[in-house]
Structure 1
Amino acid sequence: MSTRTAALDAVIFGVDIQSGDVRGDSPSYALVVFDGEEIERDVVSYRKLRRRIDEEEPALLATDNMYELAEDKDALIHFLGSLPAGTRLVQVTGAEQPEPLSRVASRHGVPYGKDPMQEAEAAARLAAANVGHEVTAFTDTTEVKVARGRSTGGGGGWSEDRYTRRIHGSVKRRTREVESELDDAGLEYERDVTEKYGGFSNAIFTVEARPEEIPVSAGRSGDVRVEIERKRRDGIEFRPLAKRREHVIVGIDPGTTTAVAVLGLEGEVLDVLSTRTADTAAVIEWIVERGRPLLVAADVTPMPGTVEKIRRSFDAAGWTPDRDLPVDVKKHRTREVGYDNDHERDAIAAALGAYDAHVDQFERVAAKVPPRQELGTVLSRVIADEESVEAVLEDLQDDDADDEEEHEHVERELTAEERRIKQLDGQVERLQDHVETLEETIEAKDDRIDDLEDELSNARREERREARERREVTRLERENDRLERELESERETVEELEGKLDRLKALWKLDHSNFADVAEKKAGLVPVKVIEQFTTDDIEAAHERFGLAEDDVILLRDASGAGRSTAERLADVNPKVVLRNGQLSGMADRVLFEREIPVAPADLVTVQEVDELAVARESEIEDAIADWEERAAERERQQSAEMVDRLISEHRADRSEPS
C-alpha cells in the first residue's frame, strides 16, 4: 500500500480559527474529523481542542497556518512538544513560504470555501492526500531513560545497603528488558549505563526512531521509572508528507505482459516496468508513486481500452500515433535507452512519441509561465482542458489576489497588554530553562552524592569487616593463650605422671630384678621408702612418689623436729618399721611408741640404694624390729616400776598427813 493510501486509513483533524485570536482570550476553532469516509464537524474552544487531541490522538493535525495554534515560535515549539507521540502537525499550504489555501485546494481538486469550517475540511482532505509539510521541532532520535524511581538515601547500615542494592538491581533488570524490546523491534540504538553498587543507577538508550515506534512505555513502576523524550532541533523544520510528485508522461503497452514507461517533461526516462501479474489497480498505484501523468500514450491506434481506463483515472490527456508505430521506428527512437524486452521498448517508444508531439508546446508554455508558478500545473490545464496559457495564468493570479492577504503568515502588531504578556511568558520560559538547568545540576549532584554514599557505604562495610577481623584475631589470640596454658598444664601433668611412672617402674624392678650389684640376690631383700625429713610435707611428697602403705619399711634421713601431728600422720600409715637418722623429738617418740610403731636406728640396717630406690636385708629388718621390741618391753617395765613407785610415794604421803 502506498503512503497516500495509508493516510486515508488514519484519523485526521482539520482545524481553522473560527473566532478570536490565539494571542488573545478564548479563541474558538472549526474542527473537522476525517477518517477517509466520514466527516465530523464541530466548533470547539482551544482547551477542548487540546483535550480531544490528547484523547483521540489523531495521526495528523492539519491547518493552513501553524500560527493559528501558537502565537510565536517558542509557543509553537512548546505546542509541538505537548502533542501525543503519534500525532503530527501538518501545514497543508507549504513550508517557509506557504501558498494560499484556495490555490492548493484547486490544484489538488479539493472542495474549498472561505467559511472556517470549509477551510478546516479542505485542510483535512489535503492532509489525507499527503499534501503539505509536517511541522517539527524534534529529530527522529528519541532518548529512553531508565532510572531509579526512589531515593537511595537512608540512615546507613546493612538495611540501607540491601535497599540500595535492590533498587539498582531493579534498574538493571528493567534496562535489560528495554534492551530486549528494542532488539525485538529491530531498532538501532546506543546504550550508556551508569553502574552502581548492586546494578545500575540509570541507563540511557539513544534510539533512532520516533516515540510511537518504540515498544516501551514511559512511567514509574516500583523502584524504577522510564522516561521517553525526543531530541529537539535547533529550530522549526518542515518535511513534506510525501515526496513531491512531478508531472510526467506515461507510455503503456498492454497485454499478457504489461509494460509502463515514465518520462519527465524534458523527455528523460525516469522508470520502466514490465509485469505479467499486476492488475490495472496495481499499475495505477505504481504510476502514482512516480508522478502525476500529464499525458498517457500508446504505440497503436486507436488507444487500447486498458490504456484509456488508466488515462481517465488520472484525468490526463491522451496521445496515439496517426498509425501504429512500426518496429523499426520504435527501435530507432529507443536506441539510446536501455530496456529488457520488447514490451518495455514499445512503452518507451509510445511515451517518447507523445513527448515529441508536444515538445514545442511545452517550450512555448514554459516561456510564458512565471518562475514561481509550477509549469506542470499550467501544462495540465492547457493540454488536458485545452485552456489558453493566458487564461490559466490569469485564473491562478486571481486566486492569489483573493487569498494572499487573508492567508499571509505574518504576525500582527501586538497590543501593550499582549506585549507585556509575551514579555512575562519570555521570563517564564527563561525561568523554566533556568529551573531545568538547576534540576540537571541537582540531578548531577544527586548522582555525585549517590557515588559518595556508595563509596562511604563501601568504606563502612570495609571498616566493619576489618573490625570483625580484629575481633576475630583477638578472640583467636585469647583462645591460643588459653590453649597454651592448658598445654603447659598438661605438660606439667605429663611430666609428673612420667615421674610417677618411672618410680612405679623402679618399684616393679625392685620386685622383679635380680639386683646383680647387691651381694645377695633377690631372696631376703625388702624395699625401703625414703623420707628426707620428718615433716608432714615430706611424708605427703613420699606418698605421692611411692605410695606409702601399711607394712612399708620407712627410712627417715632426718628424724628430728617432728611434732605430734607429724608423728600421728606417719603412724596412720602403720609402717612395719621406721629407720631413723638422728634422734626423734620426745613428743614424736612418745606418739610412735604409744601407737606401737617400731622405731630403730638406721645404723642397725644396711640400706643400699639403686637410683632413687633403696633396699635392705629382710633379716636385718627383723633384727631391728626384735631389738625395738626388747627395748619397748624394757621401757614398759620401767614405766610400770615408775608408776608403782609413784603410787607408793603418793600413798605414803597420804598416810603421813595428820588426820
Structure 2
Amino acid sequence: MKPRTRPPQAGLRQAVQRLTLGAGERPNVFLPYPSQLVACEPLKRLTEIVCWVDPLLRYSRLPVLGVDIKAGSPRGRSPPKYSACLLKDRGEPEYYDGISLNELINIARKLRRGYLATDNIFELVKNSKSLRKFLASIPEEVKLIQVTGPPGEAAPLRRLAREAGLSYEGKPGSLASARLIAELAALGYGSEIVAFNPEYRVIISKNRSVKQGGSGNPRWKRFIEAAIQSEANRISAEFNRAGIDYDLYVEKGPGGLRRAEFIVYAPKEAILSVVKEHEWGPVKISIEPSWKKRIEFTKTELNRRPRPIMVGIDPGMSVGIAVMDLFGRLLGLETLRRASRSEVIETLAKYGRPILITTDVSPPPRNVIKIAQTFGAKLVTLSEHMKIEEKTKLVREFEGEQQISVGSSHERDALAPLIKVYQRLKVLYEKAEAHLSERPDNETVDRVRMYELLARGASIVEAIEGAKVREAEGEAETTEGLRARQREIAALRRIVRQKESKIKALEEEIDHYRRLVEEMERQIANLRNELDKMRELRNVEIERDRTVAQLRRRIRDLEEEHVRKDAVVESLRDEIRRLREEIARDELGPEWVPVKSLESLARDSVEDAVGREWIQEGDVVIVSDAASAGLRSAKLLTEAGVYALIYVKSPPPREVLEYLRESGVYVTDIESVEVRWRGAVPHVRREFLIRVAATAQRVKEAEEERESQKEDRGDILSILWEYRRSLLEEESASH
C-alpha cells in the first residue's frame, strides 16, 4: 500500500485537531498520529514551531532505528560520529558503529517508513535551523522520536529502561544505548517531533516608482492593471504546474486587477523556484512571511474538551466569520482581511471545535474545503444561492431574537447561511427530543453529544445511542502493574523475535524448495513444448506426403487424359480433311483440286500450320495478306515443299519474294489464277497444279545442274593447284 504523504500545513492541521477533538474522537480526514499532544517547545525562529507528540502505534511493528552519539558534537569543530541499532519486525538487530550524520540519513532514507529514535535531539542538530534541514532530509514517513520525552519532562534513559524491563549491564556504551533507545521507541516511549511549515504571501501590485500624469493617466492605470492581471495568471499557472497549494485574493479594476495576493502554503525555496521577487516596469512582486506570531499549545488547552460549534464563512478578500453553538446561540462575528487559512483556523479554535461549516457559495471555494478538512467538520453548501433580500430578512429577525447587531456585509453573508442550516437542524432536534421523551432512559443521554451527532449527519436512533452516558468499568491499573506488564511484554517480544528468526529460516528453506519446484515445472513445460513441436512437424510431414501422392495421381490421370484427347483430335482432323475433299469433288468436279489457305504469313501462323502438318509437300497456299511475311516464314514454306503461293491483297516483301522464287516457289496474285471457293476451302484447276509442279521440277533440275557445275569446276581447280605444287617441288629439287 502506498504511504500517504502529508500535505502542506499538515502539522498545523494535526495540532488543531488534537486541540479541538476530545478523548477517543477521530477526525474525518487523514491524521497520522491522533494521540494527545504532550507539550510544545518553541524554537528561536518565528516562522517555525516544533511540537512533541506521543506516537500512536504502541509496540510498533515498523522498523525502528535507535541512534546514540559516540564521539564529537554537532557544535564542535570535528563532525560527530554515531552508533545505531536497527530493529525490524523480523530478523536480528542490525548494528552500525562510528557512522557519520550523512550515513545515518542514508540509512533512514532506505527505511521509507518507520521511526528514527534518539535520547536527545540536539545530539543530531545544533539549532532549530539545522533541525528543520535534518527533518527535510529524511523521508516524511520516518518519524523522529525523542524517547526521553519532551524538554522539561525528559527522563533518564536508564530509568526508562528499568521501567520497561529492559536488561543492561553497568553503564551502557553507545551501541548498547542505541539498542535501548530503539527498544524503548518500539515499546511506545517518547514523543514525536513535528515541524510546521510556514506560510508566505506573494503580493503583485503597482510599482510605486512608476508615475504618469496628464490626460493619459486613466489609460496608464488600465495598462498597469492589465499587467498585474497577466502576471497573476502566469504565477497561478506556474503554482498549479508545480503542485503548490495556495489561496488567491484580488482587487479588481476597470483594466484588470489593482492588486493580487497569493497565500502560498509551501517553503520559500519551493516558491522561489517558481516566482522571483522583482521591482521593475509597471509591476512589483514581493514575497513576505505570513505568520507574525508563534502558535503554542499547552497541556491545559489540550486537556480541556472544547465545545462543539457551527461556523458560517463568507470567503473573499475580507473573510466573514459567524460562530454559533449547537443550541443556536451566537458566539461571535468577525471580519478578517486577506486572512490565510492558519489565521482562520486560529480564530475558529478560540471559540471551540467546529463540527459543521457552511457557506452560501456553491461550489465552495478550495480554502473553505481545506478548513473543513482540517477540523474534520461536515461541509454544508446550500443548493440555491441566497439573494441579498433573503439574507437581510433572516439576519434582521435573528438580530431581534439575539439582541445583537451585525457590523458588516461580510458578517451578514456568513451568518445568513448558518441561520438557515440551524433552522433545518432545529426541526431534527425537536424530532429527536420527541423520540427521546418516549424512552425510559432519557436522563442518561448527553444532549450536546446527541445534537453534535445529528449535525454531523447521523440518524436519530444512531445519535441517541451514541450519546448515552455509560459508567466507567473497572479500576485504573497501578504503576506497579503497568511496569510488570511492560516487563512481561519485553520478555515476550524477545521470545517472538527468536520464533520469528526460526520462522524466517524455515521460510527461506521453503523458498528454496519452491524455486526447485518452479525450475522443474519450467523444464517440464519446455519438454512439453518440444514434444508439441515434434508432433506438429510430424503431422506436417504426413500431410505433405499425402498431398504429394494425391498430386502425382492427378498428374498421371491428366497425362493419360491428354493422350486420349490428342488421339481423338487427330482423328477428327483427318475426318474433317477427308470430308472437305469429298465435298469439293462432289460439287466442283474432278478438275478442281482443293488448296490450303492462311490469313497471313506471320511466323507464328506458318509455324503452327507446318507443325500440325496442315501444309505439306506439293501444296498450293492461298494467303489473304502476304505483307507480314518474313524470311523465316519463307524458309518454313520452302522446307515444307510448297509449290505455289497465291496472295489476295498485298504481295510479300521484295526480299521474301526473291527468296521464294529462287527457291522454286511459284508466287502470283489471285487475279492471275482462277480460284473457286467451296465454303471456306479454296479450289484451283488441276491444270494449274500440273503447270506449277512442272515449273518446280525445272527449277529443281536447274539447281541440281548448278550444283554439279560447281563440283566440276572445283575438281579442275584442284587439278591445277596440284600440278602447280608438283612443278614447284621439281624446281626446288633441281637446285
Structure 1 length-normalised TM: 0.27
* Higher normalized contact order (CA 8 Å, seq sep 6+, divided by chain length): 2
Structure 2 length-normalised TM: 0.25
Question: For the pair shown, which has the larger CA radius of gyration, 1 or 2?
Answer: 1
